[in-house]
Amino acid sequence: MFMAALILILSTGLFFFYMQAVCQKVLRRQFAQEYFQAIVNANRLEFPSVRKALEDFGVPVEYPRLMLTLKCDFLALTYLLKNAANVNQRYSYEERLLILYFKLVFVSLITRHWLRLRETSAALKLTAILEYFANVVGERVNTVRFGNLTASEYLLNL
Amino acid sequence: MSDQILIHGLQYGIYILEAGVCVLLAARGGWRHLKGLFLYVTLLFGLDGVARPAVLNYFGRTSVQYAYFYWLTDVVLALGAFLVICSFFQRACAREEKLWRFVRLLLFLVFVLVGAISALSLTRNYTQLFTSFIIEFSQNLYFTCLVLNTLLYVMIQQLAIDDDELGLLVCGIGVQFAGEAAALALYHVTLGENFARLLFNFLNPACTLGMLLIWVYAIGKTPQAAPARSRAGEDAALAEAIAD
């Protein structure tokens, strides 16, 4: 019984560790260029400024504002992922996986805040996921022609 | 009823993905640098997707023949998984010949140890070759694969091997073995409670499906066959270039 319980704890931990590693590998994907900047500008997303604040000062700006910013950017980007220049109007498997990963890291950020642990690494992970989503949207928009409109002009008119 | 439909759906999804991985490896030419993986997935499809259902249909679920066939093929698949992990180790040590020689010896010793530990159960009852040895051997080998796979992942991180395809393949196999081990352990902890049995029946195919999906992503989306390169290997190449 003791061995079974030990194996259960270890293997459950390893399962989540490998799932996290898969998500991190997906996030490492190299894009041809930094597509996310145009999407950020067109939609006034705030996650790059949050990341800059975290990297420069090492502490989150204001906790309620940080949560609201990340949540709003997440909602905007997941909407764009599904609807902007997406012929199938649905998420791909890796997008679904990363959406789930975002939600889990978001919960871990809340837990860390309650337990007064360091929140920076979790918040940086969330901004990395958002950057990936913005890059995917930007890449899709970049491959589709919208007459004389640029990618950002198209997005502003959505 | 609905859980049976879900489990059958997962099972058919696995068959389709097994065939899909074989086709993807053959079509993209990936089988050349992933021979071990190609052979393992082909074996998995042949035994799990074709032979087992055929024997099941012919002899029936409760027959002794199907039970023998199932456990024998389970051992073959466990051996296949062990060899796949060995091939991943070889790829990770592609630039470190000395390290590979050491790892190869270690893998051989681990295999002998697993065989010896499993044989101990046989000494209790010589007549029960199947129930004692075969089942114990395959379970021990699967758990050893999980441990070895974790060591491989740590090794990849420590040597800073820049090979995303290998990393994803290792993660895929880790998800499968860790999920299966967790489900089996939960089954033992709860002494075979109904919900644990249901979870066990559902988790096993779900983890296999997860592994195959990660492999499809690894083969299909990561850049083609970049040779494994470690920091030490790069330093050696740099030293050679300077010497020239």
Q: What is the pLDDT of residue B105?
A: 94
pTM above 0.90, yes or no: no
- The letter for the amino acid at A123 is A
Q: Which segments in chain A show pLDDT lower than 70?
A: 58-61, 145-158
Q: Tell me the per-residue pLDDT of B101-144, one tens digit each, with 9 for 90 and over.
A: 999 999 999 999 988 888 887 776 666 666 667 777 888 888 89
CA B146 from centre of chain: 8
Q: What is the pLDDT of residue B196?
A: 75
Per CB-CB distance under 8 Å, the chain A contacts of B153 are: 18, 21
- Which DSSP symbol is given to A28? T
As a whole number of angstroms, the distance between CA A132 and CA A127 comes to 9
Q: Tell me the percentage of chain A whose pLDDT exceeds 70.
A: 89
CB–CB contact A12 B174 (8 Å): no
Mutate to test the interface with A, among B175, B191, B207, B208 (most CBs of A within 10 A): B175
Mutate to test the interface with B, among A3, A9, A17, A22 (most CBs of B within 10 A): A22
Residue B241 has pLDDT above 60, yes or no: no
Q: What is the pLDDT of residue B228?
A: 44
Q: What is the pLDDT of residue A59?
A: 64
Q: What is the pLDDT of residue A56?
A: 81
Q: Tell me the per-residue pLDDT of B139-189, one tens digit each, with 9 for 90 and over.
A: 888 889 999 999 999 999 998 888 888 999 999 999 999 988 888 888 878
Q: What is the pLDDT of residue A93?
A: 87
- The letter for the amino acid at B238 is L
- The letter for the amino acid at A78 is T
As a whole number of angstroms, the distance between CA A44 and CA B204 comes to 44
Q: What is the pLDDT of residue A61?
A: 64
As a whole number of angstroms, the distance between CA B166 and CA A41 comes to 36
Per CB-CB distance under 8 Å, the chain A contacts of B172 are: 22
For residue A139, what are the CA distances in angstroms to A37, A73, A111?
11, 18, 34
Other beta carbons within 10 Å of A108: 16
Q: What is the pLDDT of residue B2?
A: 74
**Do A131 and A46 contact (CB within 8 A), yes or no?**
no
As a whole number of angstroms, the distance between CA A127 and CA A119 comes to 13
Q: Which residues contact A100 (CB under 8 A, 6 or more apart)?
A: none
Provide DSSP, B154-190.
Answer: HHHHHTT---HHHHHHHHHHHHHHHHHHHHHHHHHHT
Read off the pLDDT of each residue in B199-204 and give the average, rounded to a whole number: 84
Residue written as token pair 């007549």: B127
Residue written as token pair 């009852």: B125
